[in-house]
Structure 1
Amino acid sequence: MHRLQELVRLHRMGLPARQIAKELGMGPNTERRYRQILADAGLLGGEPGALPELDVLRAAVECALPAPAPPQQEVSSVAEWRADIERLHAGGARPGAIYDWLRRERPGFSGSYAAVKRLCRRLGEARGPVEADVVIPIDAPPGEAQVDFGYLGHLYDPDSGRQRKAWVFLLVLVHSRRMVARIAFDQSAETWIRLHVEAFEELGGAPTVIVPDNLKAAVVRTAFGIDERAALHRSYRELARHYGCRIDPAPPVIAGHDPREFADMFRRQTSPTRSADRVCRRTSPMHLAAAFRRACFRRPARAPRPAPRGAPA
């Protein structure tokens, strides 16, 4: 039996209002309001066994109660800048970079980062999946690492105190997608070697195979044929000999998991007002590699890091 019919029946039986409210599981004020509406409609009196139809009781209550107010139309706080957000989102910018751009280029911008993020999510849903969203799993044995530079644009260099061309150094363990990212302002052989050492220090060891791109800091002569051999930079060969790993440069015509793909995502998180250190702190490697995660999360096998030269055995 519906609670409205039960309320009428209990009142016709002469039960007190407080007890009726307790049995029906409603507050005294709610019970009093329904009782008054049904009494005004002439439905509260009568015999307990001859109850009104539920539709009649419901119609009486709906006519007496005020109509519910329609929900307020929610207007996004970034609706005024929707055109800018759509243009930047179509160009591949992420919500964080879009939000920073609006704060810098639009003096009257008063929206929140959450509103920008929600609008970007709706734009992505309306656009649908694109080629960049499709990920093809690549199975690789533990111990292989791909390494390369990716151009970021101009960033603030705290050492020189000015904007300079910046690159991101990325070393990606292919099996687990573990990544090490560093900002660099040149691509010299000295910087290339130093960043490798820093990456090995962070990983706690060295991979067994390193696959670099054919940049001049690593490869002196590129192998364009199957029978040709690539000539490595002498300091790079000494680095591999010291850490006990093998260097296998990527063929120039074979496309694989290029670390520059991660550099492109890294660049979308940056803005000219962010220093290099801030970019590294704000953009985590796990966020950059989110689109390329694999089912395997086991850490790849690494060779133990050798003792520094000159250290006692």
Structure 2
Amino acid sequence: MVSKYTYLVLRLGGVFYARFKKVLEMRSQNYSQRQISVSLKISRDTIRKIFNVADDKKVCWSSVKDLSESDVQNLLFEQEMKINLSIKQPDFDYIHKELLKPGTTIKLLWEEYVDDCRSIKSPFYQYSYFCERYRDYVKKHNLTMHINHKPGDKMMVDWNGTRMYVYDRYTGEAISAYLFEATLPFSMYSYVQACPSMKINDWVDCHIQAYRYFGGVARLLIPDILKVGIIQNKKYEYPILNKSYQEMADYYDTTIIPTRVRKPKDKAAIEGVVGDCTVAIVGKLRNRKFFSLEDLNKAIVKELDNFNNRPFQKKEGSRKSVYLDEEFPLMKALPEQPFELSVWKRAKVQLNYHISIEK
């Protein structure tokens, strides 16, 4: 049977860092539990339990003042320390893989761990220490998992504010090319394309090419609030989407969830990639002249591949390796044929029963 003081040891996370000797010294000086708690930054509940242990074992300051901190800990919790060694250790390799699945949280996995421990009548780690141990596991093994984003869950899209230019071969006129960017926030795998305009045709076509580049479809599509795709996005109301944009999303079986007004953190991943891509692509191509969008996009794809294959600075792998190893298997499959854009127009039927489409 587990001692009633074992839970004090477990609450300390299996690490005996409480200043037991100092607690007993201040108690001998008639400090209250509240004063000791404030002074040592230890909860009053823990102070009370230390008092109870000392009373039960008849340990006072005069009997421990010449002992080391570790000796005092052993004197108070020698039996509990032995019991603590039998705590069931979480399987963090399993936990790490489960966290990648949609709808799974570390709190849910901790509850399952607790239920498992209780079924075999074993002590278990408290939630805060369980999370701390998991963070240490991730850091120790240089893992690339991000708890905030699930693999294959989101694709964030936006226009890059930086323009590139295509030149007329005969007149030398510089024609603006607008950069579309798409990012998968789990792996940070990215796609960039230059377009002649920011109209709905180019906007939808960029999504089609992005899905083709990724080789799969994410569950959610997170665009900024752009009139080209989002006609209206009021608080507490379902957003009104451009009909062609909605058709494209339905065709690829993804759900469009626009970012909130003045909430840049909703698409923080792509905001960060915008700056990186500007340096990696626009900066690299700044001294080259292109005379067609096709040539410009070929050069962009070449630099984009270099960008996605570039090794991470603080961890192993690259954007592409993380995507292929951990995210691609969870992406939805592409349809057999890419989406074909429909153009919707309100037309007036003339007296001769005809309507005008593109003159």
| TM-score, normalised via structure 2 length | 0.42
Which structure is richer in relative contact order (CA contacts within 8 A, separation 6 or more)? 1
- Asked which structure has the greater CA Rg, the reply is 1
| TM-score, normalised via structure 1 length | 0.48
